[in-house]
Copies of this chain bind each other. A is one copy, B any other.
């Protein structure tokens, strides 16, 4: 099961951390862009080559210390078909290297349409007598606004393919409260979504007691994380918002269970664009991937300093 594999890799690396591969072009060093444009021109293909080379450099530097990556598909989709080819190449390369891949796709629709998204990202599609895994991530992020009709088709595919999802519950952004925090019967909406996450995942629980149906809860809202941790005891929580968005390691302890598991903290630009920060500037542009490695090591130490049973 995907959640078991994720847990085993977290235990092996002692790092409940995922690196967000969100290669905005402004994070990609000029020398990589120049080389890609020299080969492919200032085209979508050129941009796609640049982000792929950028990713590859980072993956090679973090593969032994980090269990998982989370490519944000919007950053690839914005370069059209060549961009999505770079997404696919990134997923495949991470798998070759043994990393878990969380596709941050935030898809969500209803019925057979949700099934199609699920097949695209974590399943297999039939063409005549053959089967294909189009994008082949291990996990996908999913939007719950359409209710159970939208989520259950994903859960069915999870069951069939031993893959997982993370459902958006309480997102890390400032305006996430606009709808998610509204009180329904005296409780915020995100709690109701959290309860549903618990229910949707109840019969896809793996060897460590965690479900294939996880949740996204922002590091920026630790008080809510504390409540949600209890509402969804079996859900692995994907926690964005650490670092650049303001989430602090000392606030993250509440997202973990007493077993030291139950959460994986994401950092994207804090890692992949570390070389642009004063703290890691000495690595220089050429050393962007080594800067990412150092930033990842620092992040792991920071998180583990507050995580219960960090060396479990």
Q: How far is the CA of A112 from the CA of B273 in the complex (A)?
A: 15
Min distance, Cβ A82 to any Cβ of chain B, angstroms: 9
Are A173 and B116 within 8 A (Cβ)?
Answer: no
Q: Collect the chain B residues with CB atoms within 8 Å of residue A144's CB.
A: 145, 179
For A77, A112, A149, A171, the residue with the greatest tally of chain B CB atoms inside 10 Å of its CB is: A77
Flag whether A111 is at the interface (Cβ < 8 A).
Answer: yes
Q: Collect the chain B residues with CB atoms within 8 Å of residue A178's CB.
A: 147-148, 196
8 Å CB interface, A65-89 against B:
72, 74-75, 77-81, 83-85, 88
Are A145 and B179 within 8 A (Cβ)?
Answer: yes
| Contacts known (A85-B81, A135-B80); A43 close to B130, Cβ less than 8 A | yes
Are A75 and B116 within 8 A (Cβ)?
Answer: yes
Q: Collect the chain B residues with CB atoms within 8 Å of residue A111's CB.
A: 173
Q: How far is the CA of A174 from the CA of B150 in the complex (A)?
A: 10
This chain's copy number in the assembly: 2
Interface residue total, chain A, C-beta cutoff 8 A: 70
Flag whether A117 is at the interface (Cβ < 8 A).
Answer: yes
Flag whether A175 is at the interface (Cβ < 8 A).
Answer: yes
| Contacts known (A111-B173, A175-B148); A128 close to B168, Cβ less than 8 A | no
Flag whether A184 is at the interface (Cβ < 8 A).
Answer: yes
| Contacts known (A80-B134, A113-B75); A182 close to B192, Cβ less than 8 A | yes
Are A176 and B192 within 8 A (Cβ)?
Answer: no
Q: Collect the chain B residues with CB atoms within 8 Å of residue A176's CB.
A: 110, 146-147, 149
Min distance, Cβ A150 to any Cβ of chain B, angstroms: 7
Q: How far is the CA of A149 from the CA of B220 in the complex (A)?
A: 15
Q: How far is the CA of A42 from the CA of B131 in the complex (A)?
A: 9
Min distance, Cβ A156 to any Cβ of chain B, angstroms: 15
Partner of A171, one of B72, B146, B183: B146
Q: Collect the chain B residues with CB atoms within 8 Å of residue A125's CB.
A: 44, 47, 78-79
Q: Collect the chain B residues with CB atoms within 8 Å of residue A109's CB.
A: 72, 74, 106
Are B75 and A127 within 8 A (Cβ)?
Answer: no
Flag whether A37 is at the interface (Cβ < 8 A).
Answer: yes
Q: How far is the CA of A111 from the CA of B192 in the complex (A)?
A: 25
Flag whether A120 is at the interface (Cβ < 8 A).
Answer: yes
Known: A74-B117, A79-B120, A106-B143. 9 other contacts (CB 8 A): A24-B112, A24-B116, A25-B127, A44-B132, A81-B134, A145-B179, A146-B168, A147-B179, A149-B173
